[in-house]
């Protein structure tokens, strides 16, 4: 098959590789769309340590089942599917507790951090176990289905935030995950939705997708301005989708006493943490990792047209041109949102 292979750091080659071999509980999927994730772009130069070459990246994908393993019963050739980015073991304590995103020995599609190498979906075919598959509704396109992973990451954060209708919510970082958080907060009936980002274009996107107010982090008296639109208290919940010291500190500054800060972004390994503010404001800090079954809800929201994802797709291009699109994303050329590659 043809695949886009990270042969060494900063070197993506479109070339022939052997077809994946499936295990009895796996299916072989003919990939029809695979989105480039920010983590793939960051992984390109080796800076994250999670894409050790050689590797076929890609974990935001959809396609058609081509072959089923001997132990696969619920799926058949021709089924339109997408799949979780996490391949998790079924015989694990966390999985049995209903927290498979935290399971020991889980692997991520298209990632090779050292302990394992799991080829992903920038290829004609990929192999995945049957228990991570989701059926794509007829009215949802393959390109839309390739956006489900990113939206599900955002939904997981909203789900574990404890957000209730009319809660005032702030979102720091209006990149792709931040925008999906904003879209979902609007769908779920948040009160005020406040977006913070240092790029005006992203703030405009936040507004277009449901934010009531937007601010740059450098804005004078930011905390006071946000209090003035949230009953003099601050946001009930802060969603942090950038992941560095500055934005985490802003998220803590603008949440009300007794509020919740949900940490989604994890760009920096270590940050300066505002210990005294968190303690004296009695803030709940909640990490949010990946996805825990949110695919079904996102697919339903796509099917009933409540959630729109097309506006987040900038380009649909052939996989053979993948290297040049990766290059543009790496150099942040042209304000690209999601780039989807088609084998």
Residue 329 as a binder of Zn ion (CB under 5 A): the answer is no
Nearer to Zn ion, 111 or 211 (CB): 111
**Minimum distance of Zn ion from residue 198's CB (angstroms):** 22
Q: How far is CA 9 from CA 37, 43, 47, 181, 333, in A?
A: 17, 8, 9, 32, 20
Nearer to Zn ion, 37 or 148 (CB): 37
- d(CA 36, CA 249) in angstroms, rounded, equals 29
DSSP, res 102: G
Q: How far does CA 225 lie from the centroid of its chain?
A: 30
**Minimum distance of Zn ion from residue 109's CB (angstroms):** 9
- d(CA 299, CA 101) in angstroms, rounded, equals 19
- Contact region with Zn ion (CB under 5 A), list: 30-38, 136-144, 231-239, 321-329: 30-38
**Minimum distance of Zn ion from residue 37's CB (angstroms):** 3
**Minimum distance of Zn ion from residue 135's CB (angstroms):** 21
List the one residue from 37, 108, 206, 302 that touches Zn ion (CB under 5 A). Answer: 37
* Torsion sign across C-alpha atoms 3, 66, 36, 317: positive
**Minimum distance of Zn ion from residue 59's CB (angstroms):** 6
- Contact region with Zn ion (CB under 5 A), list: 33-41, 178-186, 224-232, 259-267: 33-41
- Contact region with Zn ion (CB under 5 A), list: 31-39, 90-98, 293-301, 326-334: 31-39
Residue 185 as a binder of Zn ion (CB under 5 A): the answer is no
Q: How far is CA 42 from CA 113, 238, 312, in A?
A: 13, 25, 19
- d(CA 51, CA 209) in angstroms, rounded, equals 32
Does residue 269 contact residue 247 with C-beta atoms inside 8 Å? no
SS3 82: strand
Total residues belonging to the chain = 343
Residue 44 as a binder of Zn ion (CB under 5 A): the answer is no
**Minimum distance of Zn ion from residue 283's CB (angstroms):** 27
Residue 255 as a binder of Zn ion (CB under 5 A): the answer is no
**Minimum distance of Zn ion from residue 290's CB (angstroms):** 9
Tally the C-alpha atoms within 13 A of residue 318's C-alpha that lie toward its C-beta: 4
How many residues line the site for Zn ion (CB under 5 A)?
A: 2
Residue 177 as a binder of Zn ion (CB under 5 A): the answer is no
- Name residues whose C-beta falls within 8 Å of residue 149's C-beta, 6 or more positions apart in sequence: 35, 37, 59, 60, 61, 82, 84, 85, 291
Nearer to Zn ion, 37 or 181 (CB): 37
- Contact region with Zn ion (CB under 5 A), list: 38-46, 90-98, 110-118, 180-188: 38-46
- The DSSP code sequence of 149-198 is HHHHHHHHHHHHHT--TT--EEEE--SHHHHHHHHHHHHTT-S-EEEE-S
Footprint on residues 195-224 left by Zn ion (CB under 5 A): none
**Minimum distance of Zn ion from residue 127's CB (angstroms):** 19
Nearer to Zn ion, 84 or 236 (CB): 84
Nearer to Zn ion, 60 or 167 (CB): 60
Point out which residues bind Zn ion (CB under 5 A). 37, 39
């Amino acid at each position: 098959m043809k695949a886009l292979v990270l042969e060494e750091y900063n070197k993506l080659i479109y070339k022939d590789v052997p077809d994946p071999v499936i295990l009895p509980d796996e299916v072989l999927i003919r990939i029809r769309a695979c989105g480039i994730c920010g983590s793939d772009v960051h992984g390109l130069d080796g800076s994250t340590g999670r894409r050790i070459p050689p590797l076929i990246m890609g974990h935001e994908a959809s396609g058609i089942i081509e072959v089923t393993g001997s132990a696969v019963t619920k799926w058949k050739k021709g089924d339109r599917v997408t799949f979780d980015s996490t391949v998790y073991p079924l015989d694990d304590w966390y999985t049995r507790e209903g927290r498979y995103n935290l399971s020991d020995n889980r692997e991520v599609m298209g990632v090779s951090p050292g302990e394992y190498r799991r080829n992903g979906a920038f290829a004609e075919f990929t192999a995945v176990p049957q228990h991570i598959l989701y059926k794509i509704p007829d009215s949802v396109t393959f390109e839309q289905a390739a956006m489900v992973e990113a939206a599900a990451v955002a939904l997981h954060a909203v789900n574990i935030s404890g957000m209730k209708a009319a809660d005032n919510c702030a979102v720091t970082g209006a990149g792709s995950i931040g925008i999906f958080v904003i879209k979902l907060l609007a769908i779920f009936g948040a009160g005020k939705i406040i977006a913070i980002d240092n790029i005006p274009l992203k703030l405009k996107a936040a507004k277009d997708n449901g934010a009531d107010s937007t601010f740059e982090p450098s804005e004078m008296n930011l905390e006071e301005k946000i209090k003035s639109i949230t009953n003099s208290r601050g946001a009930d919940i802060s969603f942090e989708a950038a992941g560095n010291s500055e934005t985490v500190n802003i998220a803590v500054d603008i949440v009300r006493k007794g509020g919740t800060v949900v940490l989604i972004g994890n760009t920096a390994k270590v940050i300066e943490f505002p210990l005294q503010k968190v303690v004296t404001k009695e803030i709940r800090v909640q990490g949010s990792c990946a996805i825990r079954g949110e695919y079904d809800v996102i697919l339903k929201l796509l099917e009933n047209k409540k959630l729109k994802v097309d506006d987040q797709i900038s380009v649909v291009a052939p996989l053979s041109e993948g290297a040049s699109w990766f290059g543009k994303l790496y150099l942040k050329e042209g304000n690209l949102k999601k780039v989807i590659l088609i084998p």
